Amino acid sequence: MTGIEIIVGVGLGLTAYVLLRALMMGFFTVAPNERAVLTSFGRAQRIGAATTLDTPLADDLPEIDRERYSYPQLQVIGPGGPYFRWPWQKIHKVNVAISTVSIAFDPDTPEANQAGSVLEAVTQDQLNIGVTGQIRFSVSESNLYAYLFGVKKPIAHVMGYLVSILRERIANFKAPREDEEGVPQELRLEGISINDLRKNVNLLNEQMDRECRSSAARYGIILDASLITGIDPPHQIESALAAINTAHNEVSSDISVAQALADQRIEESKRAVEIQTMNAEAEVEPLKWLAEQLQLLKQSGPDAIPGYLRNVRLDLYKRARRIVLDMGK
């Protein structure tokens, strides 16, 4: 066997091995909680000229950001298999299951925010508070381009986006005052915004959900829900704040009791006036009836009234125990 034949044989063997390995390694599957995107020479397979602006995701984008976050729609490979790819193609798999992380989680610096346990924020009255809670998120199947190719670290972008919105909402949060309508203006705790935040955590969570709906169109991540579970003041003022709240609650309770007593007295006075009015009407009614009867008697003739008076006088004589006569007449 000559050297050329050896070289040709080795080349054919290597070629056969590469082809066989490429064919064997070209098959892949997609798990139920995964979605996949196939790229050829680095370009993802697209659905014509469709973009995210043609999907419902664009409804949550402000008009000024629509052009900036216009990403192409990709052909998504769903769960199943086996699928085949050529050697020049690359498969990108994404886990679309819902994940939960702390609201203070920082993907770039895990040791930040007290190791991802407490997020610091500043209230409207310049009070530093600690916020605890969780967020649930998942990858948007309708915008995989943004998640895979649009940003380098989508989780970091989304967490930064969420934290910036949360801090802005806390710094400008104003709670409705319907629950203090009966409290005088000078007794309302207008300056202690942490009380408003604690009493309206659900309202703050709803505001966060509304503000973060556009994250799917921006970064390809759906914020399923934000759940703030704790809002705590600094330890050095916690006792003072508790004392203020206790005093405020006592004053509000006293005002409520006084208001209830005043309302009760007013209601009793109204009832008393109604009773006296009805008694007066009951006494006046017989007099009206008697006047009507006398008017009818007068119309009967000139002798009707004297006759009526004589009969009334006789009835009085029957009831009287003593009768005093004036003999001078």
pLDDT tens readout for residues 19-71: 666 666 678 888 999 999 999 988 888 988 898 888 888 888 888 888 888 89
Roughly how many angstroms between the first and final C-alpha of the chain, as a whole number? 179
Bridge-partner residues for 128, per DSSP? 122
Measured distance CA(146)–CA(157) in Å, rounded: 11
Residue numbers in the chain where pLDDT is lower than 70: 1-3, 5-6, 8-10, 13-14, 16-25, 175-193, 234-250, 316, 326-329
pLDDT at position 186: 39
pTM exceeds 0.85 for this model: no
Contact 220, 154 (CB under 8 A): yes
β-strand pairing of 72-74 with 34-40: unpaired
Total Cβ atoms within 10 A of residue 281: 10
Rounded Cα distance between 81 and 31, Å, is 9
Measured between alpha carbons, how far is 15 from 22 in angstroms, rounded to an integer? 10
Residue 246 contacts residue 195 (beta carbons within 8 Å)? no
Question: Cα 161–166–170 angle (5° rounding)?
Answer: 155
- pLDDT value, residue 36: 92
- Please give the C-alpha separations between residue 269 and each of 3, 179, 230, 266, 274, in angstroms, as whole numbers: 124, 28, 48, 5, 9
At 92 the three-state DSSP class reads strand
- The answer to whether the beta carbons of residues 131 and 103 sit under 8 Å apart is yes
Q: Report the distance separating Cα 315 and Cα 302, nearest Å.
A: 22
Q: Residues 6 or more apart from 28 whose CB is under 8 A from it?
A: 36, 81, 82, 83, 84, 85, 91
Q: Cβ distance 257 to 182 under 8 Å?
A: no
